[in-house]
């Protein structure tokens, strides 16, 4: 069984009734609920929990961490960010959603500004699948269409993805690399663009399917991990 922790800043839900109406149990609650339909063990954690809900015990027992943040990236303690980073390097999967592009953990792992263009104007978004054989898009058609979303546009200041799975088109004319994978150390990272808080994006079944697939893809690989440092020869030399 895969152990998933869904982390959410959980601030829009407290401040904005529109967001609370769409996600009465919070964005973390909505994501946890659909993940529970799969054979996964799900916990949630939020910014205002002690240690942001990411204690050593929680992190050590998490196979895949999902991250949603926006308003309060700077309130995330650097000590916790470092612990999350170490766990990713050890093999924990990380799925960064939407405005998590500006989170400390994502910027640290990418090493770039992760900046982009944006607009809140009810653009239509069409996410084209450009790597149809990738397990993250299993069960998805040629594209996913979202009637209304926030626009994110290129240039997106990220390192070239290891795998580019989706490319978004917006009705205002912009494009965006919206499904990107990276490996850092032994950990697998997936960035997935949609999910602005004032739209019901996480209630969309295809978006849910992508996140469910991503959990399976990002879970740690079960094998003996490499040994580093001074090494005895395997042959007589
Ligand atoms: Zn947004």
| Res 39: pLDDT | 85
Q: Is 54 exposed, middle or buried (0-12, 13-18, 19+ CB in 10 A)?
A: buried
pTM of the model: 0.97
From start to end of the chain, where are the E strands?
Answer: 2-8, 40-46, 64-68, 93-97, 117-129, 143-153, 163-170, 175-184, 187-192
CB 87 within 8 A of CB 105: no
- Cis omega (within 30 of 0) on the bond before 155? yes
| In-domain check, residue 148 | no
| In-domain check, residue 161 | no
**What is the number of structural domains in the chain?**
1
| In-domain check, residue 35 | yes
Tens of pLDDT, residue by residue over 84-96, are 999 999 999 999 9
Quickly tell me which residue has 């994006």 as its tokens.
Answer: 201
The strand pairing partners of 181, in sequence order, are: 163, 190
Mention every residue, 6+ apart, whose C-beta is less than 8 A from residue 133: none
* Residues around ligand 1, an ion, CB closer than 5 A: 99, 150, 196
- Cα(186) to ligand 1 centroid in Å equals 30
- Cα(189) to ligand 1 centroid in Å equals 20
| In-domain check, residue 64 | yes
CATH code, domain carrying 14: 3.40.50.880
| In-domain check, residue 147 | no
Q: Which residue numbers in the chain have pLDDT < 50?
A: none
| In-domain check, residue 14 | yes
| Cα separations in angstroms, 47 against 53, 98, 232 | 7, 17, 46
| Domain of 99, in residue numbers | 3-113+178-218
| In-domain check, residue 118 | no
| In-domain check, residue 58 | yes
- Cα(195) to ligand 1 centroid in Å equals 7
| Res 130: pLDDT | 98
- Cα(18) to ligand 1 centroid in Å equals 14
């Amino acid at each position: 069984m895969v152990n998933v922790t869904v982390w959410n800043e959980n601030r829009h839900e407290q401040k904005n009734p529109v967001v609370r109406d769409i996600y009465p149990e919070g964005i973390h609650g909505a994501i946890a609920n659909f993940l529970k339909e799969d054979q996964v063990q799900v916990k949630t954690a939020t910014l205002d929990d002690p240690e942001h809900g990411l204690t050593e015990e929680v992190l050590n027992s998490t196979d895949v961490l999902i991250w949603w943040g926006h308003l309060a990236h700077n309130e995330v303690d650097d000590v916790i960010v470092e612990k999350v980073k170490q766990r990713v390097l050890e093999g924990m999967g990380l799925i960064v959603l939407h405005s998590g592009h500006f989170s400390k953990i994502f910027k640290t792992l990418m090493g770039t500004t992760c900046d982009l263009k944006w607009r809140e104007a009810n653009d239509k978004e069409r996410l084209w699948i450009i790597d149809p054989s990738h397990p993250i898009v299993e069960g998805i058609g040629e594209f996913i269409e979202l009637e209304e979303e926030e626009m994110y546009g290129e240039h997106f200041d990220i390192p070239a993805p290891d795998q580019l799975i989706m490319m978004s088109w917006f009705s205002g004319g912009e494009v965006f690399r919206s499904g990107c994978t990276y490996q850092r150390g032994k950990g697998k990272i997936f960035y997935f663009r949609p999910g602005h808080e004032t739209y019901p994006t996480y209630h969309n079944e295809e978006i849910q399917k992508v996140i469910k697939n991503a959990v399976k893809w990002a879970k740690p690989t079960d094998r003996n991990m490499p040994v580093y440092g001074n090494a005895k020869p395997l042959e007589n030399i």
